């Protein structure tokens, strides 16, 4: 595993991983991958992943990006991607999309890149194959941008998407509510 490194830092996130028997990035990423997929109470404090014993793509990858930073590993990038979330790549949301007559909904997803290799630790069986063919856009962000910045970026993307797809008769607020139902179906 070319992207592995030992956890040597005394900083907060590194120490929290060590307290959970993680000595290197590989064991830390497996620890995160195996946590339940569920929203955290306070996304602005990445220790919430350990406190809540769960996470989303945002908090799980932001905490791993922070671990890399604390251990002087600059080749890890935190990515915010927008992909076509549909019934094929996300089967649990198929009935929600069908109810609203949508083929897909643009969804924001966080993951890491190491030297252009996509690393997705969202769930036990996550991989880039879940979304790579449906990827619409991606940008690099910092760990502190997973909350308000990500929401604003995502809503701006949806606003533009709605303007380009006049056959979709939902407002941005209605589309966001449909998205929330999709996310609920994933939990």
pLDDT at residue 1, as a whole number: 53
End-to-end CA distance of the chain: 30
pLDDT tens for 72-93 read 999 999 999 999 999 999 999 9
| Rounded Cα–Cα distance for residues 36 and 171 (Å) | 32
pLDDT tens for 122-131 read 999 888 888 8
Reading across the β-sheet that carries 104-114, which strands appear in turn? 117-119, 104-114, 76-86, 135-141
CB contact at 8 A, 173 and 120? no
pLDDT tens for 17-59 read 999 999 999 999 999 999 999 999 999 999 999 999 999 999 9
pLDDT at residue 53, as a whole number: 97
pLDDT at residue 128, as a whole number: 83
pLDDT at residue 7, as a whole number: 98
The per-residue b/e assignment along 52-83, b for 16 or more CB within 10 angstroms, e otherwise, is bebbbbbbbbbbbbbbbbbbeeeebbbbbbbb
Residue 136 has pLDDT above 70, yes or no: yes
């Amino acid at each position: 595993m070319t992207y592995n490194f030992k956890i040597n830092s005394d900083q907060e996130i590194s120490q929290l991983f060590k307290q959970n028997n993680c000595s290197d990035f590989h064991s830390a990423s497996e620890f995160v991958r195996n946590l339940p997929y569920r929203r955290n109470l306070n996304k602005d404090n990445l220790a919430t992943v350990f406190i809540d014993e769960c996470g989303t793509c945002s908090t799980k990858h932001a905490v791993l990006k922070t671990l890399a930073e604390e251990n002087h590993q600059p080749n890890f990038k935190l990515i915010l991607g927008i992909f076509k979330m549909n019934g094929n790549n996300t089967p649990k949301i198929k009935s929600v999309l069908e109810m609203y007559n949508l083929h897909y909904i643009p969804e924001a997803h966080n993951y890491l890149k190491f030297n252009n290799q996509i690393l997705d630790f969202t769930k036990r069986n996550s991989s880039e194959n879940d979304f790579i063919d449906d990827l619409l856009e991606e940008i690099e962000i910092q760990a502190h941008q997973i909350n308000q910045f990500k929401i604003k970026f995502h809503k701006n993307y949806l606003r533009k998407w709605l303007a380009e797809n006049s056959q979709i008769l939902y407002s941005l607020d209605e589309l966001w509510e449909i998205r929330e139902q999709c996310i609920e179906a994933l939990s």
